C-alpha cells in the first residue's frame, strides 16, 4: 500500500476508540510474536531495514535536500561574498530533513512507532544515515560549484570547514534535544533558525573569521564540535544495537 493511500484511509477513518478492539489487537500481536519466536522466523537484517526506510522516506529526504541545494545555489549569484554566508545556509539543509525525522509526531502517530519491532533509536539512526548520505552529495556539489565559480576562493579546506562546523553543531544539539526527552519538531526548527541567525551575526560583525588566515580557528572548532558529534552518534548507535530507550520512545 502506498503512503498516500495510508494517509487517505487515516484521514477518512472515524477517530473512535474501541477498547474491546484494542484488546483484541494486543492479543493478536502477542500471538504473532510467540508464533514467530517458536517458528524461528528470520530476523530482518539492518541493511534490509535501511532499504525499507529508504522506500518509505528516501525520496522525500533526497528531494528536500536537492530543493534546498538549488535555492542555495540560486542565492550564490545574488549574495555578495557568498563564502561568508555558507554557514548561514547550512542549517536549512537540516531543517529540510526535519519533516521526515518527526514524521510520526507531525501525523500524531507516535504510538505506531512504539508498536514497531524496531526501536526509535534504530529508526532515527536509519533516517540519519539517509539524510547524511544526501547531505554529503549536496555539500560536495555545493563545494565544487563554489571552488570553480569563485576566483578569490578562500580555499577548499576553508569551504569544507564553513559547511561542516555549523552542520555538526545543528545535528549534535538536535540529538541532545531528542535524547533529553524534549523531542519536538518545532524545537528543532527553532534551533536551526537560531543557529543560522547566529552565523549571520558572526558573518556581519566578524568578517575576519572568513579570511584564509583564520583557518586555524575553524580547524579547532571542527575538532571540538566533531568530538561532541561523534560521541552523540556513538551513543545513538549503542542504543540502537542494545534496543535501549532513546529520548522517550524505546
For residue range 114-163, list pLDDT tens digits in order: 656 667 777 888 888 889 999 999 999 988 887 776 655 667 888 888 89
For residue range 21-69, list pLDDT tens digits in order: 777 777 777 777 677 666 666 666 777 777 888 887 888 889 989 999 9
- How much is the pLDDT for 137? 92
The more confidently predicted of residues 207 and 250 is 207
Residues 192 and 171: their CA atoms lie apart, in Å, by 9
Angle, CA 170 vertex, CA 166 and CA 171 arms, to 5°? 120
| C-alpha cell at position 81 | 561574498
Residues 60 and 97: their CA atoms lie apart, in Å, by 9
For residue range 67-90, list pLDDT tens digits in order: 999 988 888 766 666 778 888 999
Domain boundaries, the chain: 44-242
Q: Using pLDDT thresholds of 50, 70 and 90, give the confidence band for residue 250.
A: very low
Contacts of 143 by beta carbon, 8 Å cutoff, 6+ apart:
156, 159, 160, 163
| C-alpha cell at position 218 | 575553524
Contact 76, 146 (CB under 8 A): yes
Residues 170 and 191: their CA atoms lie apart, in Å, by 7
Segment of 147-156, 171-180, 190-199, 202-211 carrying the highest mean pLDDT: 190-199
Go through 26-65 and write b for each residue having 16 or more CB atoms within 10 A of its CB, e for each that does not. eeeeeeeeeeeeeeeeeeeeeeebbeebbeebbebbbebb
Amino acid at each position: 500500500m502506498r503512503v498516500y493511500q495510508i494517509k487517505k484511509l487515516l484521514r477518512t477513518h472515524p477517530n473512535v476508540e474501541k477498547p474491546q478492539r484494542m484488546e483484541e489487537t494486543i492479543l493478536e500481536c502477542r500471538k504473532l510474536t510467540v508464533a514467530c519466536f517458536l517458528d524461528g522466523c528470520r530476523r530482518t537484517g539492518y541493511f534490509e531495514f535501511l532499504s525499507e526506510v529508504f522506500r518509505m522516506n528516501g525520496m522525500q529526504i533526497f528531494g528536500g535536500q536537492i530543493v534546498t541545494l538549488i535555492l542555495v545555489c540560486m542565492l550564490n549569484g545574488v549574495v555578495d561574498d557568498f563564502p561568508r554566508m555558507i554557514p548561514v545556509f547550512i542549517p536549512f539543509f537540516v531543517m529540510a530533513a526535519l519533516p521526515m525525522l518527526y514524521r510520526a509526531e507531525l501525523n500524531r502517530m507516535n504510538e505506531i512507532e512504539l508498536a514497531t519491532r524496531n526501536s526509535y533509536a534504530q529508526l532515527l539512526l536509519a533516517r540519519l544515515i539517509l539524510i547524511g548520505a544526501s547531505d554529503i552529495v549536496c555539500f560536495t556539489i555545493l563545494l565544487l560549484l563554489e571552488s570553480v565559480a569563485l576566483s578569490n576562493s578562500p580555499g577548499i579546506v576553508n569551504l569544507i570547514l564553513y559547511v561542516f562546523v555549523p552542520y555538526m553543531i545543528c545535528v549534535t544539539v538536535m540529538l541532545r534535544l531528542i535524547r533529553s526527552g524534549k523531542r519536538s519538531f518545532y524545537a528543532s526548527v527553532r534551533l536551526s533558525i537560531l543557529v543560522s541567525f547566529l552565523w549571520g551575526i558572526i558573518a556581519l560583525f566578524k568578517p575576519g573569521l572568513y579570511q584564509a588566515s583564520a583557518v586555524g580557528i575553524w580547524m579547532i572548532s571542527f575538532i571540538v564540535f566533531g568530538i561532541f558529534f561523534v560521541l552523540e552518534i556513538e551513543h545513538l548507535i549503542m542504543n540502537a544495537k542494545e534496543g535501549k530507550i532513546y529520548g522517550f520512545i524505546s
